[in-house]
Chains A and B, each alone.
Chain A
Amino acid sequence: MKSDELRVKSDEWEIGGKTLKSRMLIGSALYPSPANMEEAIKESEAEIVTVALRRQSAGEGGGDNFWNIIKELNINVLPNTAGCHSAKEAITIAQMAREVFETNWIKLEVIGDQYNLQPDPYETLKAAEVLIQEGFEVFPYTTDDLVVAKRLADVGCKILMPWGSPIGSGQGLMNPSNLKAIRKQFPELKLIIDAGIGKPSDAVEAMQLGYDGVLLNSAIALAKDPVKMAQAFKYAIIAGRLGYEAGTMQKREFASPSTPTVGTPFWHQFA
């Protein structure tokens, strides 16, 4: 079955003022080649791709080739502030990104710990507040801490992106109960699992929790076959969303036969 046939059964959704069909946000880094990246992104059918800004070399077309490929994909670009360690740095990168990429979307990422790349909640919050005042649509990368989520919502974030586990770790959802609590507390916010997704079943789990989307990069780019993995994640995210919308059955403590017991053959009642 083609994904289009599956996808029409899943709802369209809105994020940052755009109406989208795909619930995947895909990264553009770490692929074996630019051609492979392009093919994987196309195969994923993602409508949002993350990009970054780095120092340009003099005398070259620094970044032109990459940026031309991304532009030709004709999908939404979500620049990040990766590598920033303070609100000030992140705000500056966001302002620069708005000019270069011509979008007010920003994936706000302020790292507080170099070992596990855990976001710094205090600096993230400070930056989010300023950027929202400056008219940005902030996609903040955060932990699964409920209070941090609340503070980000208080300063005006309409989107939250809690981690599943540390960036690039592929450990999946470390703490589903915390993620579930955030979903329950903020039904009106758009929630995206960002970071830590390793395999398609992790994406299914995230979507079944009622999250609105999944952002991933390493899980696809570092797969043996990134193009095939992009396809796997496309279906996983659709399956997880459909499962959430359909409503899963309640777990039972004991077995319960699914085949009718009435009329069971070879059954005899003994006195």
Chain B
Amino acid sequence: MIKISVNGEIKELQEGLNVSQMIEALNYKTKGFAVAINTTFVPIAKYEETIIKDGDTIDILAPVQGG
């Protein structure tokens, strides 16, 4: 298991998962969001090839009200 930070919360995750697998494992919805790892954007096209590493800081963002 590895430890990662997801949206500010520390989570444990199985080692070797890619972004899509992490989203599923953590029970996030499957579309309508965008992902950044260590403040770098990860486009959908790179979800499969991007492996989550121990200590990664992940932000999963969705639409909200804004001015």
Contact = CB atoms under 8 A, between A and B. Distances in A.
Interface of A: 27-31, 37, 50-64, 66-67, 70, 79-80, 82, 88-89, 92-93, 95-97, 99-101, 167-168, 217-218
Contact of A56 (B36, B44, B61): B61
Contact of B8 (A55, A101, A168): A55
Given A92-B39, A96-B36, A99-B34, A53 B62 contact: yes
Looking at chain B, what size class is its interface with the partner chain? Answer: 20 to 34
B41 A52 contact: no
Contacts of B43: 95, 99
Where chain A touches its partner, the secondary structure class is mixed
Contacts of A51: 63-66
B63 A101 contact: yes
A262 B55 CA distance: 89
A55 B61 contact: yes
B26 interface: yes
A79 B66 contact: yes
A37 B64 CA distance: 13
B32 to A, nearest CB: 7
